[in-house]
Amino acid sequence: DIQMTQSPSSLSASVGDRVTITCRASQGISSYLNWYQQKPGKAPNLLIYVASRLQSGVPSRFSGSGSGTDFTLTISSLQPEDFAIYYCQQSYTTPRTFGQGTKVEIK
């Protein structure tokens, strides 16, 4: 199985900050990498697919990059509604696997 490792596991940031989360795959997955946002008590929500494509309805302050084994999710200017847990997920092979999550908290 492909292991997905996110860093950091958590971070504290202020409204307006630029935030970057990284995700590393245990083997090359081309660009088959998705990012999800999950708020407490809610289902995950697709933000980015195929590493860098923005899902419809997702604000443009979210962006993704990377290919192969290293990927990043960037929030250009953190908003109050962005405090949540973010997960990466590979769709290169079955079983699909997720990173352990990155919790973005208010500083």
How many angstroms from the chain centroid is the CA of residue 31? 13
Q: For strand 33-38 and strand 45-49, is the pairing parallel, antiparallel, or unpaired?
A: antiparallel
> By CB under 8 A, which span of 12-20, 59-67, 71-79, 85-93 interacts with another protein?
85-93
For residue 85, the minimal CB distance to another protein (Å) is: 8
Shortest distance, CB of residue 16 to another protein, whole angstroms? 28
Establish if 72 lies at the interface with another protein (CB under 8 A): no
The answer to the question of residue 64 lying near another protein (CB under 8 A) is: no
12, 105 in Cβ contact below 8 A? yes
Nearest to 87 by CA among 31, 17, 39, 54: 39
CB 23 within 8 A of CB 72: yes
Give the footprint of another protein on residues 22-51 (CB under 8 A): 31-32, 34, 36, 38, 42-46, 49-50
Q: Which of 39, 37, 40 is nearest to 48 (CA)?
A: 37
**Least distance in angstroms from the C-beta of 20 to another protein:** 20
* Interacting residue ranges for another protein, rule: CB under 8 A: 1, 31-32, 34, 36, 38, 42-46, 49-50, 53, 55, 87, 89, 91, 94-101
